[in-house]
Amino acid sequence: MVVNTRVNIAGVVFVNPVIAASGTYGFGREYSDYVDLNKIGGISVKGLTLQPRLGNDTPRIAETPSGILNSVGLQNPGVDAFIRDEIPYLKQFDTKIIANIAGNTVSDYIEMAEKLDCTGIDILEVNVSCPNVKKGCLAFGTTMSGVAEVTKAVRKATKKPIMIKLTPNVSDIASIALSAEAEGADAVSLINTITGMVIDVNTRRPVLANNTGGLSGPAVRPVAVRMVHEVYKSVSIPVVGMGGICSAEDAIQFILAGASAIMVGTWNFNNPRACSDVAEGIKSYMEENSISDVSKLTGELIMNGD
């Protein structure tokens, strides 16, 4: 059976619904010895800031049951270096380029959006939810007004499709998503990491130098699936789901919950071929279940009692 794995997110057509999540895939070249990047729908690159960042002090990573806690702090070469060095490399491949940006101020977001507007990227993922920077991102992402302010500013600064990356560290994520949609977001992506802490009982200090960090990996998946479904029911724009995806079955949970596409993150550290493996697994599931188009799965969750 011939199946169609292509998905359309804000007018951008991906060869399949699998995207490498920002912060776990570098700029793509780091994985190119292990996987054919043409087999991945898209790559959301390492989070970019206006100026280069060295990131937080070490230790930055702590393992947890079924996940990791990270406090990298957006280490990156800056948006100008990305435009100069990384976009030409990524343009060699049939994979969509998603530039993930994070700012301390609204003007940071505006300036980066303007710089990227004239480049070959396909989508701008606006990170208002990174929990590892002591000022800026988290304050914007945890309120409707903050998300609305950044979304509105970025929408005016670029013609590129914009996707707002949402934090789970809020009481009502659907309302946050609606505020992004109201100000011109073309899509939303969720979830970012859940704030957590690991303590060394011998030193009685947090393991991470930054004290807290973002929890990711399989442990967060049920929370992420639930939040994706809540947002899908509330907005009319595409939802891109992520959070602990390790297999095609995990990915299909998100799609059934309402995701038009999914992102694979932490599992790339365990299996460098995770993205392409998930893409192949989705295709096999479609063939086995006589599903001709992957988009027909989106939101097809049957709730108990219905």
pLDDT tens digits for range 222-272: 999 999 999 999 999 999 999 999 999 999 999 999 999 999 999 999 999
300 or 139, higher pLDDT: 300
Q: What is the pLDDT of residues 121-166, one digit of tens each?
A: 999 999 997 544 444 455 688 889 999 999 999 999 999 999 999 9
Does the global pTM surpass 0.75?
yes
Mean pLDDT calculated for residue range 110-127: 97
Give the pLDDT score at 134. 45
The tokens of 282 are what? Answer: 């989705």
Query: Which residues on adjacent β-strands are paired with residue 7?
Result: 14
Digit-coded pLDDT (tens) for 89-108: 999 999 999 999 999 888 99
Average pLDDT (4-24) is: 97
DSSP E strand boundaries for 103-168: 123-127, 162-165
**Whole-number Cα distances in Å, 5 to 65, 72, 180, 187:** 33, 34, 28, 19
Region for 50 from its dihedrals, namely left if φ exceeds 0, alpha if ψ lies in -120 to 50, beta otherwise: alpha
Mean pLDDT of the chain: 95
Q: Is 270 helix (H, G, I), strand (E, B) or coil?
A: helix
The reply to whether CATH 3.30.200.20 applies to domain 7-54+75-194+217-297 is: no
**275 part of the active site:** no
Strand partners, 223: none
Angle among Cα 250, 254, 258 to the nearest 5 degrees reads 165
| Contact (CB, 8 A) for 299 and 60 | no
